[in-house]
Structure 1
Amino acid sequence: MPYAESPVAQLLERNLSLFAGKRLLIAGYLEDNFVLSLRHEARSITLFCNDYHRYLALQAAAPGAGVTLQFGHQPQGLSADYDALLLLLPKAKRESQYLLACLAPWLTPEAELFLAGENRGGINGADKLLAPYCQQFNKLDSARRCSLVHGQLSHAVAPFNIDAWVQHYQLQIDGQPLTVCALPGVFSADGLDEGSALLLEHVPALHGRVLDLGCGAGVIGAVLARRYPAIRLQLCDINALALESSRRTLACNGLQGDVLASDMLSDVAAGLDYLITNPPFHAGLNTLYAPTEQMITAAPSLLARGGKMLLVANAFLRYPPYLDRAFKQQQIIAENRKFRLYLAQ
């Protein structure tokens, strides 16, 4: 049985009997593989992941019989016969609302809804999350600043309409408007961040095969595709909602690019002329540097001869030692009070 590492998993571990005999749909912030333990209690479990890293980790754990595993921005092709939903609350409230809206139509009438999460992650607002679906709800357990909340579906749920969840906004870049399409919880969902703006202001002329790593809503990739139409653009991200947002941003602006799921560089082919990234350093509620440090180490093997990496990051992040070890040369080509733009070759 997978070890209950996180506080939320430890809370679930002492409540496994709640899921006995259920056809269980599980989604949200799948922090570890502990959710696979539920297959020993439930009749069947379906794990819906919008995080590609967790999807790969669960897939590698060989979940076995009675377990269905799916990655995407919304469930596809499931049977609408789940009598229980377990949502492990993600960092963003709006993403929790989105997941409930796209998962609830797959539930049976009077299905049970379980919400689990940390106090700092929004579980104290579970009543507001469940209100559109349940007339009554109650806290079943709490420990280590986490809670497990239960409700029961009280009425029919409207079919999911993803278009109602896409936020649109316009940026003025290079003297032209750019429409950005973003689903909840996606990086750049609310506007152009200062780091990406610094990168776009100082990016050199590009050619050949260009990767926008950690594409978020697709702002950087879309600007590069429009500014340098001859490039062969790829965009990748770990988040399925980000991938769908990037597809929509490109399409909305009449631009072309290959959008793919990748855990940093896991699914990227070699031969890049430019690797361009404003990498994340958070996972859920936690600060996490290791993925970017590992990406820096691996990047040279995926760059073509003479290939370059442009990385923008908060100035306090200590990436230069990793850049020095991985590349023949690296330099800061632009910076402001918060961010630095590194060019490595």
Structure 2
Amino acid sequence: MTDPSFQLLMQQLCQVTGPQLLVADENLRGAPLHLLLTDTMTLITNRYDIYNQAQSSGLSCHFNDFDFSSFGDNSFSQVLYRVSKEKPVTHHVINNSRRLLTNNGTLVLSGAKTDGIKTYTDKAARYFGTRATPEKHGSVYRGVIHHQSSTEQPLDDQDYQQLKPCISLTSPSNDQLLYSKPGLFGWNKVDQGSAFLAEHLSDFFGRFRNTPRHILDLGCGYGYLSVAARQCVEATITATDNNAAAIAACSKNFSLAGIDGEVIAGDCAENISKKFDAVICNPPFHQGFTTDNQLTQRFVTSCHQHLKTGGMALFVVNRFVPLESCAEPLFQVSKLGEKKGFKLVLLEKH
């Protein structure tokens, strides 16, 4: 189902002439982007799946961590944005929109009340030197802010574009500070599921007859599991993620940890043809976020496609995720344990 907030943005398209920019994050996954196809529309996204979809639709599109530096001042008559889950991301987009818009150009924000749309509309209006009140349309709101001359200071985006050393990874032989940034789920902490999986990495690698030499970190985030795996075994590690911020942070941590491998932007590793001895994975299924069996099946299928015969994968997921039933047609499945709402699942490919 199309996000109703996206539908509000669509309704605004014909209200202006001139170049327009759509800022798209995970909220627009599956949106009918082909309806945006015009000579005046440009899309920027931090999601590789949305980038692929936009390219297939013939849209002019950019994949990066919302780096607007390639666009000149006053480049757009309108910027359209369904607000993000994280405040620093939304503030970053609003801050850049003022530079990008022509005088009296419009920033169109949409979202639900629980997304903070009323507050964001008010903040953006003050930053743009004007006033605006979001209009309610069913369960969602749309705020239209006109760009005026303003000297207001930018909103606090926590220095969004900068990677920050903020996560400690301790091992018997080494203490390492990992880099991360806003724009990633749980960006400034160690995810409890990942910590649970990392505790069992040595035992996991010990199950192999021969030490695995090629490892895939599927949905790598900022690279916590890759770095933890490298502390256990000498191996070449390939890490992949759908999120541009994850690719930037993981690449930095690979470099600092001296990991032999590569970090690749991709949608569930669909652009990686190589097969691996082992897969480690904490997929993006979190309590409070939409989780469907189709997404679970995609990760399981990708794991099967990328494992060598005789290879094994170690997954950590929330207890409510039906990973075992999705995996049983393809793998020998064993649940190794549970902790704090997470379960550890071993998949063996025969």
Instruction: Give the structure-2-normalised TM-score.
Output: 0.84
Please tell me the residue identity of whatever aligns with 1:231.
A
Q: 1:268 to 1:32 in 2, by over 3 A?
A: same
Out of 12, 20, 23, the residue aligned to residue 9 of structure 2 is 12
Following superposition of structure 1 onto structure 2, how do residues 140-159 of structure 1 map, counting pairs within 5 Å?
Answer: 141-153=135-147, 154-155=149-150
Decide which moves more: 125-134 or 254-263: 125-134
Q: 1:283 to 1:121 in 2, by over 3 A?
A: farther
Partner of 1:71: 63
Partner of 1:186: 184
Deviation of the 1:198 alpha carbon? 0.9
Following superposition of structure 1 onto structure 2, how do residues 174-253 of structure 1 map, counting pairs within 5 Å?
Answer: 174-175=171-172, 176-203=174-201, 204-205=204-205, 207-228=212-233, 230-253=234-257
Q: 1:223 to 1:128 in 2, by over 3 A?
A: farther
Q: Deviations over 1:179-214 (max 9, x none)?
A: 122221303412111111111110123521111111
Q: 1:337 to 1:32 in 2, by over 3 A?
A: closer
Partner of 1:121: 115
Following superposition of structure 1 onto structure 2, how do residues 187-336 of structure 1 map, counting pairs within 5 Å?
Answer: 187-203=185-201, 204-205=204-205, 207-228=212-233, 230-281=234-285, 286-327=290-331, 329-336=332-339
Quote the RMSD (CA, aligned, Å): 2.8
Flag structure 1 segments of 5+ consecutive residues without an equivalent: none
Q: Give me the whole-angstrom Cα distance separating, in 2, the residues matched to 1:283 and 1:267.
A: 28
Deviation of the 1:248 alpha carbon? 2.0
Q: 1:119 to 1:286 in 2, by over 3 A?
A: farther
Q: Deviations over 1:261-287 (max 9, x none)?
A: 111131122311111100012699533
Q: Deviations over 1:65-108 (max 9, x none)?
A: xxx21111124633442232111112222221233345554434
Q: Give me the whole-angstrom Cα distance separating, in 1, the residues matched to 2:71 and 2:196.
A: 43
Q: Give me the whole-angstrom Cα distance separating, in 1, the residues matched to 2:8 and 2:121.
A: 19
Q: 1:35 to 1:150 in 2, by over 3 A?
A: farther
Count of aligned pairs between the two proteins: 332
Q: Give me the whole-angstrom Cα distance separating, in 2, the residues matched to 1:342 and 1:155.
A: 55
Q: Secondary structure at the match of 1:180?
A: strand
Q: Secondary structure at the match of 2:2?
A: coil
Please tell me the residue identity of whatever aligns with 1:55.
Y
Q: Give me the whole-angstrom Cα distance separating, in 2, the residues matched to 1:337 and 1:23.
A: 49
Deviation of the 1:132 alpha carbon? 6.7
Q: Give me the whole-angstrom Cα distance separating, in 2, the residues matched to 1:50 and 1:76.
A: 14
**Matched-pair contact (CA < 8 Å) for 2:335–2:343:** yes
Q: Give me the whole-angstrom Cα distance separating, in 2, the residues matched to 1:287 and 1:49.
A: 21
Please tell me the residue identity of whatever aligns with 1:84.
Q
Q: Give me the whole-angstrom Cα distance separating, in 2, the residues matched to 1:135 and 1:270.
A: 53
Q: 1:233 to 1:332 in 2, by over 3 A?
A: same
Please tell me the residue identity of whatever aligns with 2:242.
I
Deviation of the 1:109 alpha carbon? 4.6
**Matched-pair contact (CA < 8 Å) for 2:281–2:315:** yes
Q: Secondary structure at the match of 2:130?
A: strand
Please tell me the residue identity of whatever aligns with 1:82.
F
Please tell me the residue identity of whatever aligns with 2:62.
Q
Following superposition of structure 1 onto structure 2, how do residues 12-91 of structure 1 map, counting pairs within 5 Å?
Answer: 12-18=9-15, 20-29=16-25, 30-40=28-38, 44-63=40-59, 68-73=60-65, 74-75=67-68, 77-80=70-73, 81-91=75-85
Q: Give me the whole-angstrom Cα distance separating, in 1, the residues matched to 2:121 and 2:3.
A: 23
Q: Secondary structure at the match of 2:132?
A: strand
Deviation of the 1:137 alpha carbon? 3.2
Instruction: Give the structure-1-normalised TM-score.
Output: 0.85
Deviation of the 1:311 alpha carbon? 0.5
Flag structure 2 segments of 5+ consecutive residues without an equivalent: 206-210
Out of 320, 344, 347, the residue aligned to residue 344 of structure 1 is 347
Please tell me the residue identity of whatever aligns with 1:306.
G
**Matched-pair contact (CA < 8 Å) for 1:271–1:304:** yes
